[in-house]
């Protein structure tokens, strides 16, 4: 028994090639068993558990000893330093930087016509009917029909102003920037705009209430007062609502909205002066309309000054950020 053990340890082994060993094993087996062995030939070639006499290929094993079927790192991962030397990965970062550095005007060419289309819509719906349309063809007299015709004329302007502000908002926004988070309307500006708008809204109503109670003579009928200042009060309410929406949505047109409506308001009140002469309004009505014209011209001038101030603040902030 000891001799058998010594012989198994000390006797040299005969190295048999892989293909000969496979033929020798398959020849010693019955035919029914040879077919499963042939079917499993591909699996033995793909396995990493090789015989001791078979040389291991450099790409078939890993440090952990896992095989190809387990899906371990058969192909070594590419290091970040070696990646730059491969041609297929060259220029990847440069391409991403070039796409991000494209100016917004080149990325959005469909917005170019809005720079001309928006002001054209505002001119066609607001200034053209008021300046070139004869007032006699719109105003039919101090009655309901005349009031509705004037309100329809102002509604036409309001639709044009809304389209203009939407186009200006589309041109001012950029899809990849966080512009909504950067826009902060100052609280002092909001307070000043609300006070000026409320004064322009309450003063005509106070005059109407005083006239109906007999404090102002001669007394003016409600329909005549509505024809003169009704469209003005309605459009002023729409402006206040539009400004609040632009503040809430943090739209870049919040500084432009008062300019659009206040410029038209001056023309609207000048139209009221003409109508006051045609319907024979008393002197205090004409004087109150002139006072409203002066008030809104003053507000328009202050608004233009605020635009210049905000532009200067934005340029200083941009310079400090670049520095």
The residue among 210 and 134 whose pLDDT is bigger is 210
CB 239 within 8 A of CB 254: no
Q: What is the mean pLDDT of residues 81-88?
A: 48
CB 292 within 8 A of CB 203: yes
In this prediction, residue 105 has a pLDDT band, given cuts at 50, 70 and 90, of: very low
**Helix (H/G/I), strand (E/B), else coil: 3:** helix
> Rg of the Cα trace of the chain?
43
Q: Phi/psi zone of residue 69: left (φ > 0), alpha (ψ -120 to 50 degrees), beta?
A: alpha
Distance CA(16)–CA(4), nearest Å, equals 23
What pLDDT shows up at residue 317?
75
What pLDDT shows up at residue 52?
53
Percent of the chain with pLDDT over 70: 62
- The 10s digit of each residue's pLDDT in 137-189 is 788 788 899 999 999 999 999 999 999 999 999 888 866 556 555 678 899 99
Does residue 275 register a pLDDT over 60? Answer: yes
What pLDDT shows up at residue 79?
53
Does residue 44 register a pLDDT over 50? Answer: no
CB 48 within 8 A of CB 66: yes
Does residue 109 register a pLDDT over 70? Answer: no
Distance CA(90)–CA(83), nearest Å, equals 8
**Helix (H/G/I), strand (E/B), else coil: 9:** helix
Distance CA(190)–CA(253), nearest Å, equals 14
What pLDDT shows up at residue 298?
96
Closest by CA position to 240, among listed 200, 204, 194:
194
Distance of CA 38 to the CA centre of its chain: 65
Distance CA(285)–CA(204), nearest Å, equals 10
Burial class (CB in 10 A: 0-12, 13-18, 19+), 122: buried
Distance CA(272)–CA(293), nearest Å, equals 10
The residue among 265 and 114 whose pLDDT is bigger is 265
- The 10s digit of each residue's pLDDT in 16-30 is 444 454 444 445 445
What pLDDT shows up at residue 92?
44
Distance CA(13)–CA(19), nearest Å, equals 17
Q: Which of 11-25, 70-84, 200-214, 302-316 has the highest mean pLDDT?
A: 200-214
Distance CA(224)–CA(211), nearest Å, equals 12
Tell me how crowded residue 210 is: count the other CB atoms within 10 A of its CB. Answer: 13
What pLDDT shows up at residue 136?
78
Closest by CA position to 160, among listed 130, 131, 132, 119:
119
Question: What is the average pLDDT score of the chain?
Answer: 75
Percent of the chain with pLDDT over 90: 42
What pLDDT shows up at residue 153?
92
């Amino acid at each position: 028994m000891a001799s058998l053990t010594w012989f198994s340890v000390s006797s040299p082994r005969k190295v048999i090639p892989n293909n000969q060993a496979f033929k020798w094993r398959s020849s010693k087996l019955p035919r029914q068993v040879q077919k499963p062995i042939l079917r499993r030939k591909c699996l033995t070639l793909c396995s990493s558990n090789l015989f001791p006499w078979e040389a291991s290929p450099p790409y078939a094993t890993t440090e952990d000893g896992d095989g190809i079927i387990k899906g371990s790192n058969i192909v070594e991962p590419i290091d970040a330093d070696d990646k730059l030397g491969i041609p297929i990965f060259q220029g990847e970062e440069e391409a991403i930087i070039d796409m991000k550095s494209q100016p917004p005007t080149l990325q959005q060419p469909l917005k170019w016509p809005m720079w001309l289309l928006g002001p054209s819509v505002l001119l066609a719906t607001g200034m053209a009917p008021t300046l070139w349309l004869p007032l006699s063809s719109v105003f039919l007299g101090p009655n309901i029909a005349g009031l509705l015709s004037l309100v329809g004329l102002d509604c036409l302007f309001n639709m044009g102003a809304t389209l203009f502000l939407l186009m200006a908002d589309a041109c001012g926004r950029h899809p990849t920037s966080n512009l909504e988070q950067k826009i902060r309307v100052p609280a002092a500006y909001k307070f000043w705009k609300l006070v000026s708008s409320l004064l322009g809204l309450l003063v005509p109503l106070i005059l109407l209430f005083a006239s109906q109670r007999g404090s102002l003579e001669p007394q003016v009928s409600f329909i005549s007062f509505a024809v003169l200042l009704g469209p003005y009060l309605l459009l002023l309410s729409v402006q206040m609502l539009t400004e609040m929406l632009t503040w809430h949505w943090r739209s870049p047109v919040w500084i432009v909205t008062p300019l659009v409506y206040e410029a038209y308001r001056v023309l609207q009140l000048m139209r009221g002066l003409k109508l006051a002469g045609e319907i024979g309004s008393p002197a205090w009505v004409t004087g109150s309309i002139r006072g409203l014209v002066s008030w809104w011209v003053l507000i328009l001038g202050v608004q233009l000054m605020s635009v210049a101030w905000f532009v200067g603040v934005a340029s200083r902030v941009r310079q400090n950020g670049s520095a």
